[in-house]
């Protein structure tokens, strides 16, 4: 029987009703006591790392979770991390860069309803997560509503429904039915994980809207090392106004720019339209292609904590990690 560490970080799954709304209150031991069948799947040890609504999770917490896994890695066969759903995709992406090539499972799960509610999805999600952990599914993944999603590909696409998460531009790793895991894809792993312990959190994300003034970009560039621009469709910026000169000016000062798209599926392709072509050809902005926004953000934070040399940043960005980018051929 496998030894699995349950790491609690809070979220809806651990919440109870208070006068000010739902708030994380329960410990990992209390969660486990609500699902005694898990103890027939594996041996479980509990560790309460934090107890936060995931809206309050920051990059510092991502580093703390990664350190917790590293510190306990040799003592356990796998890890289940309970987490709030609102930023779970960001945490899953961040852990995919901070803990690379893990042969042991590092599984995030949570719930849309607290474990104490009669209609909760908590118990099945916890059971499924431990099932995957006990079966040795390698790497970082999200297990939710009977689906297994690669950590770099998860996105929350429903705010209330139990099928909260979707795999973006990549197949599901597997599905669970009646306590059994059917694997479609086994994630890549190495003989041992490679841990990283730094992130550059001075990275901003802006969503373009029609008529937005380029001065907003100046404000963000002034305060950050990199700017991710969620543009329209396959990608580009408005030709009217000061967008192009603004980006050119700040890139000359050492800032990095990533162009991605607001559209969830199929990714960017800056070469199609004039509004995007010259950004890629003349300025050399980074293009996200089929990456999720969550993965782009975490990857740039990971890269810029390692280097700010432009050529190395480009190389690392287009080097796939945990199958995060598949359409970067030629870069």
Active site residues: 12
> Position of tokens 């300025």?
283
**Helix ranges (DSSP H) in 84-169:** 88-98, 122-134
Q: Which DSSP category does 36 fall into?
A: G
Alpha carbon distance 227, 223 (integer Å): 10
Q: Are 118 and 92 in contact (CB under 8 A)?
A: no
Alpha carbon distance 23, 20 (integer Å): 8
Which whole-number Å values give the CA distances from 28 to 6, 73, 115, in the listed order?
Answer: 7, 18, 12
Q: Which DSSP category does 40 fall into?
A: G
Alpha carbon distance 326, 320 (integer Å): 7
* DSSP H or E run through 51: strand 43-52
Alpha carbon distance 24, 68 (integer Å): 20
């Amino acid at each position: 029987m496998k030894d699995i560490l349950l790491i609690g970080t809070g979220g809806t799954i651990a919440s109870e009703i208070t006068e000010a709304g739902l708030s994380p209150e329960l410990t990992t031991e209390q969660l486990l006591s609500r699902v005694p069948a898990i103890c027939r799947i594996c041996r479980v040890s509990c560790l309460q790392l934090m107890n936060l609504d995931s809206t309050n999770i920051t990059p510092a917490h991502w580093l703390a979770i990664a350190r917790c896994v590293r510190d306990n890695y040799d003592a356990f066969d796998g890890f289940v991390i309970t987490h709030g759903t609102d930023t779970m995709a960001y945490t899953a992406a961040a852990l995919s860069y901070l803990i690379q090539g893990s042969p042991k499972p590092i599984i995030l799960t949570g719930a849309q309803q607290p474990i104490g509610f009669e209609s909760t999805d908590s118990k099945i999600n916890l059971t499924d997560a431990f099932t995957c952990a006990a079966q040795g599914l390698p790497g970082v993944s999200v297990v939710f509503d009977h689906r297994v999603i690669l950590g770099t590909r998860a996105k929350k696409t429903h705010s209330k429904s139990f099928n909260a998460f979707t795999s973006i531009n990549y197949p599901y790793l597997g599905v669970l039915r009646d306590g059994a895991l059917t694997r479609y894809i086994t994630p890549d792993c190495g003989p041992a994980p490679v841990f990283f312990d730094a992130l550059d959190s001075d990275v901003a994300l802006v969503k373009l809207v029609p008529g937005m003034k380029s001065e907003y970009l100046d404000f963000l560039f002034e305060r950050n090392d990199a700017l991710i621009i969620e543009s329209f469709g396959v990608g580009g910026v408005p030709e009217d106004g000061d967008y192009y000169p603004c980006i050119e000016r700040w890139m000359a000062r050492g800032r990095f720019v990533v162009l991605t798209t607001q559209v969830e599926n199929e990714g960017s392709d800056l070469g199609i339209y004039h509004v995007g072509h010259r950004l890629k050809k003349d300025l050399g902005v980074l293009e996200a292609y089929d990456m999720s926004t969550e993965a782009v953000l975490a990857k740039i934070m990971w890269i810029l904590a390692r280097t700010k040399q432009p050529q190395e940043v480009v190389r690392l960005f287009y080097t796939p990690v945990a199958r995060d980018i598949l359409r970067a051929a030629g870069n």
